């Protein structure tokens, strides 16, 4: 048994703490806030068993032109942030070329995704979180026939290549399945194997409570105080210094800043997203992704959560309401939204690696430092799976 401090108590950090604890280690979770209060709080809450391929950068000239000229809402950007993301984005573009993507990236990614629900299932059962989980999938809906046809072809490919089940609905069938839907759409793909959570931050808290009930501890403090202490590490908690043999960095989008101090230049594409909540009477029965406007509608305990796609940004860029305003308009075309629940927009950052795969493993430069970050669009899905992989690498 050895002592390990896990820096960061989002979905990834809490899952990592549980997996290391299960391997017999004495683990302390370390965060400046409570568990699941940042990115893992504000996402769409989908455990995406269908997301077997990570998002490559669209490289066709038509889409690139539309993004560059600000005609898309699923991807937006501001000139002021461009110098910060241009270099990581070029790496992302290189990795999105079909050869390497198909040969290396997609196979590694799909292996993780295909065990995500199984890895969550154990924790959901043990932490008593069943009440906030639904196992009836979510729908991607399409406004245009061209978009729908392409989606049906992808769904067929995913079924034959990866065994991922789905159910295709025509516009009329979708209208029957979603009586509150006000717009006539071309159709939908219902991804039946994915799960959804009505309270993503609450699920992380359930997992953190399980970790504590099993003898783990959680401490508040600033992870940026991390420093070498002999052969191990020291970090300053609000109650004084803590020392440990090994440390795992699970700081999501804040990870590159910390590991940068220890000689690791980690490029990251910061894909910011926004959400706001609405009261709604006849909202969607299932979570719904309006693909062509980049708008996600997720029924949550707090109300209907309307979320945006990606704003290519920096961690501390000031907020802009342009993308979430457009997504709200799109959501209003689909359903009759009532009053807003929350006064302020939430924003958070998908920690996206140019290579599309999370960093899971040891630092080659700093003995005793381990990484588990960079899960991009699917960190809520992949927390327990990447934790299991890391724990296997760290050993007993």
Ligand X SMILES: Cc1cc2nc3c(=O)[nH]c(=O)nc-3n(C[C@H](O)[C@H](O)[C@H](O)COP(=O)(O)OP(=O)(O)OC[C@H]3O[C@@H](n4cnc5c(N)ncnc54)[C@H](O)[C@@H]3O)c2cc1C
Place of tokens 């068993």: 49
Cα–Cα distance measured from residue 31 to residue 13, given in angstroms and rounded to the nearest whole number: 9
**CA angle at 192 for the pair 188 and 166, rounded to the nearest 5°:** 60
Nearest one of 137, 134, 135, 141 to 175, comparing CA atoms: 141
Instruction: Among 166, 194, 244, 378, indicate the residue that binds ligand X (CB under 6 A).
Output: 378
8 versus 283: smaller Cβ distance to ligand X: 8
Burial class (CB in 10 A: 0-12, 13-18, 19+), 379: buried
Residue 355 to residue 50: CA distance in whole angstroms: 20
List, as one string, the DSSP characters of 237-295: ETTEEEEESEEEE--GGGHHHHHHTTT-----EEEEEEEEEEEESS--SS-EEEGGGTE
Q: Which residue matches tokens 């420093």? A: 227
Does 246 bind ligand X (CB under 6 A)? Our answer is no
* Contacting ligand X within 120-179 (CB under 6 A): none
CB of 8 to ligand X, least distance (A): 3
Q: Is 28 in the site for ligand X (CB under 6 A)?
A: no
At its nearest, how many Å lie between ligand X and the CB of residue 61?
28
Decide if residue 6 touches ligand X (CB under 6 A).
Answer: no
38 binds ligand X, rule: CB under 6 A = yes
Segment 216 to 245, residues that bind ligand X, using CB under 6 A = 222-224
Pick the closer one to ligand X by CB: 95 or 349: 349
Q: Does 202 bind ligand X (CB under 6 A)?
A: no
Residues 94, 159 contacting (CB under 8 angstroms): no
**Looking at beta carbons only, is 112 or 151 nearer to ligand X?**
112
Total residues in contact with ligand X, by rule CB under 6 A: 39
C-alpha R_g of the chain: 21
The CB-of-12 to ligand X minimum distance in angstroms stands at: 3
Is 295 one of the binding residues for ligand X (CB under 6 A)? no
Binding site for ligand X (CB under 6 A): 8-13, 31-33, 37-40, 43-46, 48, 222-224, 250-252, 254, 273, 275, 307, 348, 350-351, 373, 375-381
């Amino acid at each position: 048994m050895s002592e390990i401090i896990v820096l960061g108590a989002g979905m990834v950090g809490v899952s990592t703490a549980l997996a290391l604890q299960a391997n017999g280690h004495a683990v302390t979770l370390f965060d400046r806030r409570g568990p699941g209060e940042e990115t893992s709080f504000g996402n769409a809450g989908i455990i995406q068993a269908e997301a077997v391929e990570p998002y490559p950068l669209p490289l066709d000239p038509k889409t690139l032109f539309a993004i560059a000229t600000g005609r898309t809402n699923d991807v937006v950007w501001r000139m002021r942030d461009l110098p910060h993301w241009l270099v990581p984005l070029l790496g992302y573009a290189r990795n999105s070329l079909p050869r390497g993507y198909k040969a290396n990236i997609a196979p590694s990614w799909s292996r993780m995704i295909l065990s995500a629900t199984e890895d969550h299932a154990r924790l959901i059962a043990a932490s008593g979180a069943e009440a906030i989980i639904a196992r009836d999938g979510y729908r991607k809906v399409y406004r245009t026939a061209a978009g729908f046809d392409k989606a049906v072809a992808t769904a067929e490919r995913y079924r034959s290549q990866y065994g991922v089940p789905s159910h295709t609905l025509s516009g009329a069938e979708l209208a029957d399945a979603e009586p509150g839907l006000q717009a006539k759409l071309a159709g939908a793909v219902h991804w039946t194997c994915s799960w959804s959570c009505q309270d993503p931050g609450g699920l992380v808290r359930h997992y953190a409570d399980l970790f504590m009930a099993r003898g783990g501890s959680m401490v508040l403090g600033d992870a940026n105080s991390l420093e070498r202490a002999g052969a191990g590490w020291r970090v300053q908690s609000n109650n004084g210094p803590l020392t440990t043999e090994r440390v795992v960095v699970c700081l999501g989008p804040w990870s590159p800043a910390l590991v940068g101090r220890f000689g690791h230049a980690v490029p990251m594409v910061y894909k910011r997203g926004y959400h706001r909540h609405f009261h709604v009477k006849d909202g969607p029965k299932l979570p719904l992704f309006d693909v062509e406007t980049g708008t996600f509608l997720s029924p949550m305990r707090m109300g209907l959560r309307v979320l945006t796609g990606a704003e290519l940004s920096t961690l501390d860029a000031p907020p802009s309401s342009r993308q979430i305003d457009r997504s709200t308009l799109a959501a209003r075309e689909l359903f009759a939204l009532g009053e807003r629940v929350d006064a302020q927009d939430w924003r958070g950052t998908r920690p996206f690696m140019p290579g599309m795969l999370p960093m899971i493993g040891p630092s080659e430069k700093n003995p005793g430092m381990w990484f588990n970050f960079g899960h991009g669009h699917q960190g809520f899905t992949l927390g327990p799976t990447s934790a299991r992989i890391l724990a296997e690498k760290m050993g007993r």
